[in-house]
């Protein structure tokens, strides 16, 4: 017995009789019951192995695995040991709140493998021990003989034994937009997956015909099982901002620890009590930690999610919102993403004239033009016959469901029906005048379909099929004068090749009049010769109308587009030119194929993904490698798709984007974002929102870090100056940090997007979050606040204020300064007068609420007693207002100077 899964890579090149013999099966009797039990034990059930995930308890405790939280937890323990219960309880409370918020916002455990298993759950028709029976697909084993008819979902990977007119929809697996014709003949071992015509794959769908085959792989060993394993192996990547925040956290961790140790050592050396210095060191640590940052980031992202829903994008994983703003390249599947996934006739050649058909998909709104003039079906005899033949020689139907047209049957035939209606064909009259009498169905062996129709005087045969086949059956053709002339095969083949070179799929049409008694039946010999050639119809799965503008906007925003598809290279290249992925439409651009990619190693792939924009006939493994190659070049990669074949790459990408309508459950569960309208253009809107969210998070960081640094400066200076009384306690610092983060900083999440947001290049993931502006603001704010606190604290005590009142003033200094500074941070460059004073009303709501809560904090018992503060008089309040206004003016002056410098350099800020 050949080892498990060894057939899988080359079964298409082996005679099925050898495979049947190797499995010990029988083409008529199937497997013996004893063999079935052996194979069940050896190969297991025909299901996908689910991936183990962390339980909720473990995920909750993982929320504490953050560097800055380590300091807070240690601080809480030390203050508890020092019997400072108020400080300890507040610190512990902040830690728990952060963990709960993180746990709630964490994305749901990925269900990709469960969705894949669900997609394989179906019934199978099998012969076992000579009996034909229906079994659950999970019970199928290698060696089973399966039977298929139209509408069946394939339960396992199968090598065909026999087939009749077999067509299979493999779009979800390979990206092929059209049903694939299948036959049992041998193929070369090097044949690509999408071209293996003698194989059926699990989770694909039989759309036409019937077949019998032997199972060669089940469960995890199927092609869809390989995809399942790829999903499991795909790395879960942090977003650009979370990486920067993580780096910042580690940096702050060491700075804070160093500062706390220095503060404690200096205080003890200066003769201060060890307990007081412990408390001071903890105050330094707590002051410098931006406790509100995790919660503020989470809520800002959540607000971004709600905004994106209105723009047809559902975010499944919160960090995806921010990642969109940093995206540098979008890798897009073609079928159903960039295109309609609805075949559409674009060109018709009839009577030596070329007609262009307008309109997209199955929508019958459209028109036909010749030399830029609208024409109808009666323009010429050849055009009329070509349209009628396409409608009559057709087994599909155009249906309207919920106001949307759809096709019941073959997409190619659907395109012919829609084209005929656009030409003003009277459908009901035609069917009445030309009732069908007989049919020769399409068979891959003959490459054509023919139908016999009754007329008033005689019968007529309509034929459609492959150009190479139909042209060998024709003897005459209709010319531009509607005259029957000798058939010019060379000319027709040249026209057909020109259509094919534009990525179009071409069908030929012919008719034959039956002379003599009325015929009721037709046979192949009736159409083998003497046909009248009446025309060609060329079709394509067209690009979505809005995609062209969307691609243009992406280029303007500095975002590169890569088409990665399982479809044919010529078709992919043609679509890429039309929508602008390939910018120079006059260049003879050729996509790179999956077969060519096989010859490149990982290092070479890095150059290939840079040089090429279109990749065709690629496998799921290659899609994954291409995404990894882009990421290795430092790109922030978004991947769009809708099929099972897209799932591994969707999960590997920095942000996976699935189609909500046509997308498979596997794709949706692997993705970070789902488009509810399947519209590529919605990605542009989502990127715009993502950039807005990214901006607002950076504004929050620019607002919060300087205030935290200022608090740390104050505590360090108090220790260095050997002051015996601390102007602020740890619990009071936490009140400042948490209340201002929620009531003030969070209001920046509602800040409208600034002008020109889609005209600038993506922010590089390599740029550090601590830039020159943030360093300057830290120093400026730190110096101003340190001087203000030390002077006003001493001034209050000297003026007869109690220690609790003086500390209340210190807390209020930070609250007042942060309120005014919040107005500065609405934009890094522009003033609130340029933005609009009330363009973000939530800013004013937050400031109002902050003053209300600060009043409660100072004047309402037992709150003020718990935090050890008391209220202040009117004069103190005036001094605080002056300080706040001073901070605002200083920052605005700095922004004004930077605008002047930028203007001189010719930059637009």
Active site amino acids? 333
Planar angle of CA 573, 574, 576, nearest 5 degrees: 65
Query: What element of type H or E holds 683?
Result: helix 681-720
* Calpha distance 9→207 (Å, rounded): 25
Half-sphere exposure of 89 (CA within 13 A, CB side): 6
DSSP per-residue codes, 432-475 = HHS-EEEEEEEETTTTEEEEEEE-SSSEEEEEEE-HHHHTTTEE
Using an 8 Å Cβ cutoff, are 349 and 539 in contact? no
The Cα–Cα gap between 585 and 572 comes to: 13
Cα distances (angstroms) measured from residue 78 to each of 75, 273, 282, 708: 5, 15, 8, 21
Cβ contact 211:182 at 8 Å: yes
Separation of alpha carbons 622 and 571, rounded Å: 19
Q: Which residues pair with 674 in a beta bridge?
A: 314, 658
Structure tokens at 612: 């090429």
Longest dimension (CA), the chain: 124
Residue with tokens 């740029």: 767
Report the first-to-last Cα separation within the chain, whole angstroms: 71
**Rounded distance between C-alpha atoms, residue 711 and residue 727, angstroms:** 11
Element (H, E) at 486: strand 484-486
Q: How many Cβ atoms from other residues are within 10 Å of residue 882's Cβ? A: 11
Contacts of 426 (CB under 8 A, 6+ apart): none
Are β-strands 180-181 and 673-675 bridged in parallel, bridged antiparallel, or unpaired? Answer: unpaired
Which ranges in 346-402 belong to alpha helices (H)? 381-392
d(CA 810, CA 797): 11
Closest C-alpha to 117, from 665, 841, 814, 761: 665
Tokens, residue 145: 């003989």
| Residues 526/446, Cβ–Cβ less than 8 Å | no
Residue 656: HSE in the Cβ half-sphere, 13 Å Cα cutoff: 34
Q: Which helix (H) or strand (E) holds 616?
A: strand 614-616
Cis peptide before 862 (omega within 30 of 0): yes
Contacts 24+ apart (CB under 8 A), 790-796: 790/714, 790/717, 790/718, 790/721, 790/727, 792/876, 792/879, 792/883, 793/727, 796/872, 796/876
* DSSP string for residues in 295-318: HHHHHHHHHHHHHHHTTTEEESST
């Amino acid at each position: 017995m050949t080892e498990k899964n060894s057939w899988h890579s080359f079964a298409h090149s082996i005679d099925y009789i050898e495979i049947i013999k190797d499995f010990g099966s029988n083409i008529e009797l199937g497997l013996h019951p004893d063999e079935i039990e052996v194979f069940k034990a050896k190969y297991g059930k025909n299901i996908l192995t689910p991936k183990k995930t962390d339980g909720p308890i473990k995920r909750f405790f993982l929320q504490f695995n953050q560097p800055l939280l380590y300091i807070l937890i240690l601080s809480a323990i030390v203050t508890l040991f020092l019997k400072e219960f108020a400080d300890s309880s507040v610190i512990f409370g902040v830690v728990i709140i952060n963990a709960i918020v993180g746990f709630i916002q964490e994305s749901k455990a990925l269900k990709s493998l469960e969705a894949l298993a669900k997609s394989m759950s179906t019934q199978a028709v099998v012969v076992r021990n000579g009996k034909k029976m229906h079994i659950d697909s999970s019970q199928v084993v290698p060696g089973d003989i399966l039977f298929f008819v139209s509408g069946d979902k394939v339960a396992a990977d199968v090598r065909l034994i026999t087939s009749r007119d077999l067509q299979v929809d493999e779009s979800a697996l390979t990206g092929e937009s059209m049903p694939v014709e299948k036959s049992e003949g041998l193929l070369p071992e090097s044949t690509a997956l999408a071209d293996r015509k003698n194989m059926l794959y699990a989770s694909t769908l039989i759309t036409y015909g019937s077949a019998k085959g032997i199972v060669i792989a089940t469960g995890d060993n199927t092609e869809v099982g390989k995809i399942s394993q790829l999903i499991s192996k795909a790395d879960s990547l942090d977003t650009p901002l979370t990486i920067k925040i993580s780096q910042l956290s580690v940096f702050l961790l060491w700075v804070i620890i160093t500062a706390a140790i220095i503060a404690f050592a200096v205080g003890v050396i200066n003769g201060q009590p060890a307990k007081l210095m412990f408390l001071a060191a903890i105050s330094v640590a707590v002051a410098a930690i931006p406790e509100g940052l995790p919660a503020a980031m989470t809520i800002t992202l959540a607000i971004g999610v709600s905004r994106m829903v209105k723009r047809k994008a559902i975010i499944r994983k919160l960090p995806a919102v921010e990642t969109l703003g940093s995206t540098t390249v979008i890798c897009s599947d073609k079928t159903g993403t960039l295109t309609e996934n609805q075949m559409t006739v674009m060109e018709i050649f009839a009577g030596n004239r070329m007609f262009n058909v307008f309109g997209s998909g199955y929508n019958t709104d459209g028109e036909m033009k010749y030399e830029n003039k609208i024409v109808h079906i009666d323009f010429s005899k050849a055009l009329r016959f070509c349209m009628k033949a396409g409608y009559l020689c057709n087994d599909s139907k155009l249906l309207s469901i919920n106001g949307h047209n759809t096709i019941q049957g073959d997409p190619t035939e659907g395109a012919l029906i829609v084209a005929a209606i656009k030409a003003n064909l009277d459908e009901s009259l035609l069917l009445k005048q030309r009732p069908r009498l007989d049919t020769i169905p399409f068979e891959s062996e003959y490459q054509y379909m023919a139908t016999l129709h009754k007329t008033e005087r005689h019968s007529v045969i309509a034929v459609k099929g492959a150009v190479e086949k139909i042209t060998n059956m024709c003897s005459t053709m209709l010319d531009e004068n509607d005259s029957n002339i000798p058939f010019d095969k060379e000319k027709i083949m040249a026209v057909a090749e020109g259509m094919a070179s534009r990525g179009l799929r071409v069908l030929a049409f012919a008719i034959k009049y039956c002379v003599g008694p009325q015929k009721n039946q037709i046979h192949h010999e009736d159409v083998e010769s003497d046909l009248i050639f009446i025309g060609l119809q060329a079709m394509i799965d067209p690009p979505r109308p809005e995609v062209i503008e969307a691609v243009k906007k992406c280029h303007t925003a500095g975002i590169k587009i890569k088409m990665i598809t399982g479809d044919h290279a010529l078709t992919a290249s043609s679509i890429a030119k039309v929508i602008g992925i390939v910018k120079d439409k006059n260049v003879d651009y050729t996509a790179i194929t999956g077969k060519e990619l096989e010859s490149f190693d990982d290092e070479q792939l890095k150059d290939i993904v840079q040089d090429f924009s279109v990749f065709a006939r690629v496998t799921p493994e290659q899609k994954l490698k291409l995404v990894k190659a882009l990421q290795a070049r430092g790109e922030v990669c978004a991947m769009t798709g809708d099929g099972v074949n897209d799932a591994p790459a969707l999960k590997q990408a920095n942000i996976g984007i699935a189609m909500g309508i046509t997308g498979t459950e596997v794709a949706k569960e692997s993705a970070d974002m789902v488009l509810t309208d399947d519209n590529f253009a919605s990605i542009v809107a989502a990127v715009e929102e993502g950039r807005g969210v990214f901006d607002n998070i950076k504004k929050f960081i620019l607002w919060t870090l300087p205030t935290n640094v200022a608090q740390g400066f104050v505590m360090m200076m108090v220790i260095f100056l050997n002051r015996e009384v601390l102007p602020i306690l740890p619990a009071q610092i936490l009140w400042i940090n948490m209340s201002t983060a929620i009531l003030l900083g969070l209001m920046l999440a509602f800040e409208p997007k600034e002008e020109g947001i889609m005209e600038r290049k993506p922010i590089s993931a390599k740029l550090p979050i601590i830039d020159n502006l943030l360093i300057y603001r830290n120093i400026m704010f730190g110096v101003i606040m340190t001087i203000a606190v030390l002077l006003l604290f001493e001034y209050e005590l000297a003026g007869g204020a109690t220690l609790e009142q003086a500390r209340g003033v210190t807390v209020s200094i930070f609250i007042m300064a942060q309120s005014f500074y919040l107005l500065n941070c609405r934009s890094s460059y522009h003033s609130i007068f340029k933005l609009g004073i009330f363009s973000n009303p939530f800013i004013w709501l937050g400031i109002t609420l902050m003053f209300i809560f600060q009043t409660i904090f100072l004047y309402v018992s037992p709150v003020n007693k718990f935090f050890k503060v008391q209220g202040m008089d009117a004069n103190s309040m005036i001094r605080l207002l002056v300080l706040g206004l001073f901070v605002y003016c200083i920052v605005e002056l700095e922004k004004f100077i930077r605008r002047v410098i930028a203007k001189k350099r010719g930059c637009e800020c």
